[in-house]
């Protein structure tokens, strides 16, 4: 078994203190790297929560799915029912739509995402699925599809319902799905204000309820939540250069605590860990030696993007290598697994990632094959 070491330069001068724990003041929390899916910190992440307005992330995802499939348009308009209007009169977060208003999908989405309007959630749900109950079924189907195994949605807004439940782990999964699959629509979550030119009154301008958006530190989403029984919660995402991390926490005692503690968690993640790109699908290629092939090298690639997140104190111990029986004997068909990328920390293997032939490798003709074999027997020269 031959092992070929990839030159993976990871020299860092670490002149800061690395904290083992962010000492977060919350009931439950999780911190995940967007690219590697590595969990950098968790605090009882599978404890049941009432997701409150973080539910609206899934409400938006359902609409985005339909937009992508051309089953819905941003210009489509839905008629506002009394059921939706009543929520604007009940003291909840509202867009302040009126009965029989014709409101576009685009404005309803802004009312949901930016103003956190519960009335807009019902209007969108009824417009898409006929009823909020039918829409909740769509939400649960999507939750199962993307791996949210501990979530049950009963409404589109997250308002009081003992059966509308989730976990911070599932909310993180949902947040990543949103950001990864709908980067353009996700930009709505970073907008700080929304002005609704309502019927029968002056336009209403409302600010985004995510307090971290106003700090200009790289946070561009995702969604706040509050219920008296759950206290304050926040799903947040911060991007610095090419790296993004997602934090979800719940059970904060106050709005101030939610803001300060969430920011502390995000900053802890960037300060104490780094994420490295190991291989990018369709971009990163590796060349392996061949035997009896028409080429001396064959290109190999991964079928997925691979990243590794590691604590900065362990960076000097990170090693990336190629592991394969070589040289690779021709013929080889494109797509054949021919090697592994080995990512290790000291003597511990962290990841073993398959490499596949990125091209066909034809075998040389009989006479050249014979000559090459004789040359090897005599001189040991492949």
Give the pLDDT confidence of 3-26 residue by residue, as tens digits.
443 434 333 333 333 456 889 999
Query: What's residue 363's pLDDT?
Result: 79
Average pLDDT over every residue of 247-258? 97
Higher pLDDT, residue 343 or 70: 70
Q: What percent of the chain has pLDDT over 90?
A: 69
Mean pLDDT throughout 228-238? 96
Q: Please give the structure tokens belonging to residue 188.
A: 């709505």
State pTM to two decimals: 0.88
Q: Which two tokens stand for residue 132?
A: 């909020």
3-state secondary structure of 102: strand
pLDDT of residue 333: 92
Active-site residue numbers?
A: 53, 56, 116
What's the confidence (pLDDT) of residue 370?
46
Name the 3-class secondary structure at 257: helix
CATH code reported for the domain at 280-379: 2.60.410.10
* Predicted local distance difference test score (pLDDT) of residue 290: 86
Mean per-residue pLDDT, 263-287: 93
pLDDT in tens, 91-127: 789 999 999 999 999 999 999 999 999 999 999 999 9
The SS3 of residue 219 is strand
The residues that bridge with 339 in the sheet, in sequence order, are 355
First vs last C-alpha separation in the chain: 17
Residue 7 confidence (pLDDT) = 38
Average pLDDT over residues 350-362: 89
pLDDT in tens, 281-316: 888 999 988 877 788 888 999 999 999 999 988 888
Instruction: Dig out the tokens for 38 from the structure.
Output: 């590595």
**pLDDT (0 to 100) of residue 83:** 93
Displacement of CA 120 from its chain's centroid (Å) = 25
| Better-predicted residue by pLDDT, 381 or 27 | 27
Mean pLDDT score of the chain: 89
Class of domain 28-269: alpha beta
Q: Which of 143-147, 355-359, 361-365 has the highest mean pLDDT?
A: 143-147
Please say whether the beta carbons of 200 and 206 come within 8 A.
Answer: no
Which of these, 171, 149, 208, 150, lies nearest to 57 by C-alpha position?
Answer: 171
DSSP string for residues in 57-70 = HHHHHHHHHHHHTT
- Give the model's confidence band at 181: pLDDT under 50 very low, under 70 low, under 90 confident, else very high: very high
Average pLDDT over residues 323-336: 87
List pLDDT tens digits, range 32-89.
Answer: 999 999 999 999 999 999 999 999 999 999 999 999 999 999 999 999 999 999 887 7
- The pLDDT assigned to 259 comes to 96
Instruction: Give the tokens for residue 41.
Output: 């910190």
Residue with more model confidence, 330 or 144: 144
Mean pLDDT in residue range 361-366: 69
What is the Cα–Cα distance from 278 to 3, expressed in whole angstroms?
17
pLDDT given for residue 361 in this prediction: 83
For 29, 262, 308, the CA distances from 268, given in Å and listed in that order, are 13, 10, 17
Q: What is the pLDDT of residue 17?
A: 39
User: What is the average pLDDT across 177-189?
Assistant: 98
Where do the domains of the chain lie? Answer: 28-269, 280-379
**Most confident option among 247-261, 283-297, 345-359:** 247-261
pLDDT confidence band for 379 (50 / 70 / 90):
low
Sign of CA dihedral 74, 79, 83, 88: positive
For residues 84 and 97, what is the distance between their CA atoms, to the nearest angstrom?
8
Q: What is the pLDDT of residue 345?
A: 83
Residue-level pLDDT at 131: 97
| Residue 380: per-residue pLDDT | 54
Q: What pLDDT does 8 receive? A: 40
**More confident call, 290 vs 247:** 247
**For residue 146, pLDDT beyond 70:** yes
């Amino acid at each position: 078994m031959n092992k070929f070491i990839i030159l993976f330069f990871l020299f860092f001068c670490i002149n800061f203190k690395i904290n083992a724990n962010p000492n977060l003041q919350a009931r439950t929390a999780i911190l995940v790297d967007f690219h590697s899916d590595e969990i950098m910190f968790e605090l009882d992440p599978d404890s049941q929560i009432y997701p409150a307005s973080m539910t609206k992330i899934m409400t938006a995802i359902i609409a985005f799915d339909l937009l992508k499939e051309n089953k819905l348009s941003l210009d489509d308009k839905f008629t506002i029912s009394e059921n939706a209007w009543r929520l604007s009169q009940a003291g909840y977060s509202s867009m302040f739509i009126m009965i029989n208003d014709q409101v576009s999908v685009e404005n309803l989405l802004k009312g949901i995402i930016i103003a956190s309007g519960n009335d807009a959630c019902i209007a969108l749900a009824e417009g898409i699925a006929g009823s909020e109950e039918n829409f909740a079924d769509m939400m649960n189907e999507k939750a199962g599809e993307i791996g949210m195994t501990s979530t049950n949605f009963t409404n589109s807004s997250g308002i009081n319902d003992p059966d509308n439940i989730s976990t911070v782990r599932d909310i993180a999964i949902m947040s990543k799905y949103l950001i990864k699959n709908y980067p353009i629509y996700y930009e709505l979550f970073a907008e700080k204000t929304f002005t609704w030119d309502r019927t029968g009154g002056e336009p209403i301008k409302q600010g985004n309820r995510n307090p971290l958006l106003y700090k200009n530190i790289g946070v561009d989403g995702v969604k706040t939540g509050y219920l008296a029984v759950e206290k304050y919660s926040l799903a947040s995402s911060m991007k610095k250069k090419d790296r993004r991390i997602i934090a979800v926490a719940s059970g904060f005692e106050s709005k101030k605590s939610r803001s300060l503690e969430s920011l502390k968690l995000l900053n802890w993640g960037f300060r104490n860990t780094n994420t490295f790109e190991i291989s990018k699908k369709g971009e990163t290629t590796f060349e392996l030696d061949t035997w009896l092939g028409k080429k001396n090298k064959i290109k190999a690639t991964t079928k997925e993007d691979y990243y590794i997140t590691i604590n900065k104190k362990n960076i000097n111990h990170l090693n990336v290598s190629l592991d394969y029986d070589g040289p690779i004997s021709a013929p080889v068909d494109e797509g054949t697994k021919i090697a592994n990328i080995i990512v290790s920390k000291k003597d511990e293997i962290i990841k073993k990632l398959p490499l596949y032939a990125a091209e066909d490798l034809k075998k040389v003709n009989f006479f050249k094959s014979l000559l090459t074999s004789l040359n090897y027997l005599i001189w040991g020269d492949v």
